[in-house]
Amino acid sequence: MATKVATPALEQADQPPRRRARTRLLAVVGALVLLFVAVVLSLAIGSRSLAPATVFHALLHDDGSIASSVIWDVRVPRTLAGIAAGAALGVAGALIQALTRNPLADPGLLGINAGAATGVVFSITVLGLTSLWASVWFGMAGAVIAGLLAYSLASGGRGGATPERLALGGAVIAAVFTGLSQTVMMLDAQALDQLRFWSVGSLARADNQTLTTITPFVALGLVLALSLVRPLNALALGDDAARALGAHLNRTRFLGLLAVTLLCGAATSAVGPLVFVGLAVPHMARMIAGTDQRWTLPLSMLLAPALLLYADVLGRVVVRPDELDAGVITAVIGAPVFIALVRHRRVVSS
């Protein structure tokens, strides 16, 4: 007797439309609640914990007290950077998985993380710039260059930038940029020290200048990503079916890669390559809401910053008075969660 694997997406499709819509709406509300709680905890918990009432009073009345200074100068920029970077990585991961039709794809697949790292190394070794502001701008530039090169490689020849070519082109670019940055770091101790901290992934260095720099890129990337939900749904049916439905394949893939580059480049250059956020969160969103990108992308945009902020808060608590970087926590939490999501399949008789 034949068997088939019932995925969460199939289970969602079997639900009545009204029940499915209610489930998705409740999922969005639940994600908003999780994000709100994460924001409150991020503002309240640190080397000096504050009561929620103190936090809300400081937010509404900046009276110049120590609590207000801690919240406005340190924790608000750090929290907002976590929201921006988390939303960017979550949506970038969902986009890459949709564009490549590969559920194991993540923002590093197209070489964007490696490009950002190379940009940071270049700013330190060649120009002698060690500020966070310089790292953000040059990391963003490196990410854009890597994304464009990956797309150029994938779009050559007949058929254009197919999912397989995007993955292969990204792998080639990632290998080249990784080798380049690793070689430079071996020859420059300052670059090695700077990049070693950055490569772990942390919100600790985020400030208002960081937030001001990455916000336009993240906003543009999110708007562009959300505008592609219909053609992305068509792409999920295969290239021939997508063409029959009127989708422009090359344009959709180019704009999707541009959105991924803007989102992942901005987030990675500011807070480092936080692992598993862009890989695991889209799986969580699809398990809850199915494969419809009209719901997957918004849910990823809410769940990813919540996960990142919870990881950041946990990192402030577990080794007090020191901190663990958020990248360490997301790796520790994300790996078993992702394994559980991948193994979440039910075999039924047909």
pLDDT digits (tens, 9 = 90+) for 200-238: 788 888 888 888 888 999 999 999 999 999 888 888 887
State the CB neighbour count (10 A cutoff) for residue 17. Answer: 7
For residue 163, the model assigns a pLDDT of: 66
pLDDT digits (tens, 9 = 90+) for 31-90: 999 999 999 999 999 877 888 888 888 888 877 778 888 888 889 999 999 999 999 999
The domain made up of 3-349 has a fold known as: ABC transporter involved in vitamin B12 uptake, BtuC (1.10.3470)
Cβ atoms of residues 110 and 163 within 8 Å:
no
pLDDT digits (tens, 9 = 90+) for 133-153: 777 888 888 888 888 888 788
177 to 136, 169, 180, 322, 327: CA distances (angstroms): 17, 12, 5, 33, 21
The residue that leads in pLDDT, 79 or 132, is: 79
d(CA 115, CA 303): 26
pLDDT digits (tens, 9 = 90+) for 283-292: 889 888 888 8
Question: Is the pLDDT assigned to residue 176 strictly greater than 80?
Answer: yes
- pLDDT, average across residues 326-349: 68
pTM of the model: 0.84
For residue 150, the model assigns a pLDDT of: 83
In terms of average pLDDT, the best of 105-119, 146-160, 188-202, 333-347 is 105-119
Question: Is the pLDDT assigned to residue 257 strictly greater than 80?
Answer: yes
Predicted confidence band of residue 5 (pLDDT cuts 50, 70, 90): very low
Find all residues with CB under 8 Å of 314, minimum gap 6, and list them: 324, 329, 333
H or E stretch including 306? helix 293-317
How is residue 173 annotated by DSSP? Answer: H
Average pLDDT, the chain: 81
Least confident among 33-37, 141-145, 270-274, 337-341:
337-341
For residue 92, the model assigns a pLDDT of: 92
Torsion, Cα of 299, 206, 209, 134 (10° steps): -110
Find all residues with CB under 8 Å of 35, minimum gap 6, and list them: 83, 302, 305, 306, 309
Structure token pair of residue 162 = 């197919």
In terms of average pLDDT, the best of 101-110, 190-199, 268-277, 301-310 is 301-310
3-state SS assignment for residue 320: coil
The residue that leads in pLDDT, 72 or 154, is: 72
Residue 321: cis peptide before it, omega within 30 degrees of 0: yes
Question: Is the pLDDT assigned to residue 3 strictly greater than 70?
Answer: no
Question: Is the pLDDT assigned to residue 341 strictly greater than 70?
Answer: no
Question: Is the pLDDT assigned to residue 346 strictly greater than 70?
Answer: no
Domain boundaries, the chain: 3-349
Question: Is the pLDDT assigned to residue 11 strictly greater than 50?
Answer: no
DSSP lists the bridge partners of residue 289 as none
d(CA 4, CA 316): 45
For residue 247, the model assigns a pLDDT of: 75
Predicted confidence band of residue 190 (pLDDT cuts 50, 70, 90): low
DSSP lists the bridge partners of residue 6 as 346
For residue 2, the model assigns a pLDDT of: 42
d(CA 182, CA 168): 21
Radius of gyration of the chain (CA): 21
Predicted confidence band of residue 159 (pLDDT cuts 50, 70, 90): low
43 to 226, 230, 310: CA distances (angstroms): 29, 37, 11
The residue that leads in pLDDT, 241 or 198, is: 241
d(CA 305, CA 293): 18
For residue 342, the model assigns a pLDDT of: 65
| 67: alpha, beta or left? (left if phi > 0; alpha if psi -120 to 50) | alpha
For residue 7, the model assigns a pLDDT of: 44
Positive or negative, the CA dihedral 290, 292, 297, 298 is negative
Angle between helices 17-44 and 277-289 (to 10 degrees): 140
